Amino acid sequence: MPARSLIILALGIVVAIGTAVSLKNRMASAPVGGAQTQVLVAADAIPAGAFVRAEQIGLADWPEKNITESMLTTANVQPTEYVGAVARRAIRAGEPITQGTLVKSSEGGFMSAVLEPGKRAISISVDPTSGNAGFIFPGDRVDLILTHRLGNGDAAERASETFIEDVRVLAVDQMLDNPENKAVLAKTVTLEVSPKQAEEINVAKDLGTISLSLRSLATKSVEPLAPDAGPVSFDDVLSNALPDDLPPSNVTRDTDVSKVITPRGAAGTRVRVLRGGKEPEEIEFNPEGMKSNAPM
């Protein structure tokens, strides 16, 4: 046999052997027929910082030889353990869930994972009245109302104003989830706010009492005040001399609630009348008209 034919034959044998070996390796790595274990995967895409729902955690068969130490399997965890956990990063649908990808509420760093970028967490004290009788749950959105006194003594004025709107409730006491939706008479509520709002809340704590007002899920966010609205003094609030850009409905004075409180700066209801040749007398004005008092 010519040498050239022998070389071609040898090369053909080498190629055939290489193909057979490659095919054998592929079949060995295929899941069919190999030992498999169920691992936790994302049934749907999970955004970073989102609370994980039960339907977002699924199971998938995975070759045991390809399982890494960081993967979560049914051999060491239960899928229900991670319901209510928070995703540290975005997880794609079908992606295996690994240790450190989700953080549970009992683990350190949970609150920082819940916060949106640039936001802060701050807690305020509440009672059954200021906390909406326990019907505020994590995930709800609320407005903050400050009730305080202006001035001292008998001349003190009382006012109530909504100073922060549409913020998210992160936790009620130390609960970050309420799967049974039961009312809880909490002592503290933790809110997600901006750094500036956190400062405003700390000042408001010193000024008076903060109450929470629950917003409807269908309520649209209120546009912030125009930056050129200018500062508003307490005298402006009480005299109703408010900038046009500030909604008057955000401020309620004591005189708006009680009709027996005389508005600040209003004229008195009693006047002294002097008539020529007659004794001075006081006239009192009331809703029914005038009445004359005894001569002074």
Top-confidence residue, 200 or 280: 200
Question: Does the pLDDT of residue 61 top 50, yes or no?
Answer: yes
Alpha-carbon distances, residue 292 vs 209, 274, 288 (angstroms): 44, 13, 13
Would the pTM count as exceeding 0.95?
A: no
Write the DSSP symbol of residue 125: E
Mean pLDDT of 177-191: 72
What's the whole-number average pLDDT of the chain? 75
Top-confidence residue, 182 or 257: 257
Q: What 3-state DSSP class applies to 209?
A: strand
Task: Say which amino acid occupies 200.
Answer: E
Enumerate the H helices of 31-137 as residue ranges: 110-114
Question: Does the pLDDT of residue 208 top 70, yes or no?
Answer: yes
Q: Could you give the CA distance from residue 78 to residue 179 in angstroms, rounded to a whole number?
A: 18
Q: Which residue shows structure tokens 């027996």? A: 260
Return the structure tokens found at 124: 């305020």
CATH topology of domain 36-111: Type Iii Antifreeze Protein Isoform Hplc 12 (3.90.1210)
Least confident of 41-50, 127-136, 193-202, 286-295: 286-295
The dihedral over CA atoms of 166, 170, 174, 175, expressed in degrees to the nearest 10, equals 100
Return the structure tokens found at 284: 């009192």
Enumerate the H helices of 162-262 as residue ranges: 195-207, 234-239, 254-257
Question: Does the pLDDT of residue 203 top 50, yes or no?
Answer: yes
pLDDT at residue 242, rounded to an integer: 47
Q: Could you give the CA distance from residue 231 to residue 242 in angstroms, rounded to a whole number?
A: 10
What residue spans in the chain does CATH classification 3.90.1210.10 cover?
A: 36-111
Enumerate the H helices of the chain as residue ranges: 3-29, 110-114, 195-207, 234-239, 254-257
Return the structure tokens found at 280: 């001075």
Q: Is 133 left (phi over 0), alpha (psi -120 to 50) or beta?
A: left
pLDDT at residue 205, rounded to an integer: 92
Q: Could you give the CA distance from residue 113 to residue 105 in angstroms, rounded to a whole number?
A: 10
pLDDT at residue 136, rounded to an integer: 85
Mean pLDDT of 60-72: 89
The enclosing H or E element of 212 equals strand 208-214
Mean pLDDT of 256-269: 65
Contacts of 11 (CB under 8 A, 6+ apart): none
Q: Could you give the CA distance from residue 153 to residue 164 in angstroms, rounded to a whole number?
A: 29
Span 115-169, pLDDT tens digits: 888 899 999 998 877 666 668 888 889 999 999 988 777 677 888 999 999 999 9
Q: Could you give the CA distance from residue 109 to residue 113 in angstroms, rounded to a whole number?
A: 6
